């Protein structure tokens, strides 16, 4: 298993601060080298890689571009995709430990099984319910494997949203399972002290309406630490 982590984070122009706080939370806890690449839809369009029109159920600019991660990784190694509306509370090296010995999977996800509580989420965006919802919000791709090689720009540009998000490009027995602590759905699940990654899927505390939401203090604390000179000089790999 590689001793470094390649991370891709979905970027949305409505939530730039979410991206930067997430990157900060990853970097200051990592005990091994990490490389972080924001997935910016406009850049992909200018490069001619991403050409599909935005659909009515795409609540973010990275709803579909996330599936380009294996292509952007040159179909080599392990790459992580994360939604930007998250904060990381642990050393991501633990991810590599969790999948150790399970290298024959094509992708690993947190296999949520729930029905959204609300029909509307942040900024009035519709909350769409479908099987395997939020599985694709945190993915580890085994980029060289056959299923990941199906995720070409041509396929991603033409496949339906449900084909992509319901993992029709991958056999079910090739989808590995991660503990739900790696993608704790704030507001959908009860607050959890053992969460490794908090996912503010309904709306994060960077929006006024969500400043009092569950686990808001963790995100606000991370933002404040990012803004304070010297705040990231704590012992790496041990911050909780």
Residue 234 falls within a domain, yes or no? Answer: no
How confident is the model over 39-68, as a mean pLDDT? 94
More confident residue, 59 or 240: 59
More confident residue, 133 or 118: 133
The residues, any chain, with a CB within 8 Å of residue 169's CB and separated by 6 or more, are 147, 150, 151, 155, 159, 163
Residue 236 falls within a domain, yes or no? Answer: no
Residue 240 falls within a domain, yes or no? Answer: no
Q: Which domain holds residue 193?
A: 5-227
Residue 188 falls within a domain, yes or no? Answer: yes
Q: What is the pLDDT of residue 240?
A: 43
Give the span between the Cα atoms of 169 and 47, in whole angstroms. 24
Number of domains, the chain: 1
Main-chain phi, psi angles of 115, to 5 degrees:
-110, 125
pLDDT band for position 58 (50/70/90)?
confident
Residue 159 falls within a domain, yes or no? Answer: yes
What SS3 state is found at 42? helix
What's the predicted TM-score (pTM) here?
0.89
DSSP run (H or E) holding 44: helix 41-46
Residue 138 falls within a domain, yes or no? Answer: yes
Q: At what angle do helices 16-27 and 216-227 cross, to 10 degrees?
A: 80
Per-residue pLDDT tens for 109-121? 999 987 766 655 5
How confident is the model over 59-63, as a mean pLDDT? 93
The CATH number that applies at residue 95 is: 3.90.550.10
Residue 17 falls within a domain, yes or no? Answer: yes
What SS3 state is found at 148? helix
Give the span between the Cα atoms of 6 and 10, in whole angstroms. 14
How confident is the model over 156-162, as a mean pLDDT? 96
Per-residue pLDDT tens for 37-47? 999 999 999 99
| Mean pLDDT, rounded, of the chain | 90
Residue 204 falls within a domain, yes or no? Answer: yes
Q: What is the pLDDT of residue 51?
A: 97
């Amino acid at each position: 298993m590689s001793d470094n982590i390649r991370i891709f984070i979905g970027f949305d122009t409505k939530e730039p601060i979410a991206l930067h706080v997430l990157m900060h939370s990853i970097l200051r806890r990592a005990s091994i080298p990490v490389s972080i690449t924001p997935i910016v839809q406009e850049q992909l369009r200018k490069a001619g890689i991403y050409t599909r029109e935005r659909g009515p159920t795409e609540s973010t600019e990275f709803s579909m571009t996330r599936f380009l991660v294996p292509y952007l990784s040159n179909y080599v190694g392990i790459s992580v995709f994360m939604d930007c509306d998250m904060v990381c509370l642990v050393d991501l090296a633990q991810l590599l430990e969790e999948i150790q010995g399970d290298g024959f999977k094509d992708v690993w996800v947190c296999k949520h099984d729930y029905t959204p509580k609300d029909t509307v989420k942040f900024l009035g965006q519709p909350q769409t319910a479908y099987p395997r919802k939020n599985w694709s919000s945190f993915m580890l791709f085994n980029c060289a494997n056959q299923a990941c090689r199906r995720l070409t720009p041509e396929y991603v540009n033409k496949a339906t949203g449900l084909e992509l998000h319901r993992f029709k490009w991958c056999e079910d027995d090739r989808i590995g399972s991660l503990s739900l602590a790696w993608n704790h759905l704030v507001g959908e699940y009860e607050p959890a002290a053992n969460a490794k990654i908090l996912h503010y899927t309904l709306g994060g505390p960077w929006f006024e309406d969500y400043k009092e939401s569950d686990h808001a203090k963790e995100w606000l604390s991370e933002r404040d630490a990012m803004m304070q000179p010297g705040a990231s000089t704590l012992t790496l790999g041990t911050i909780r």
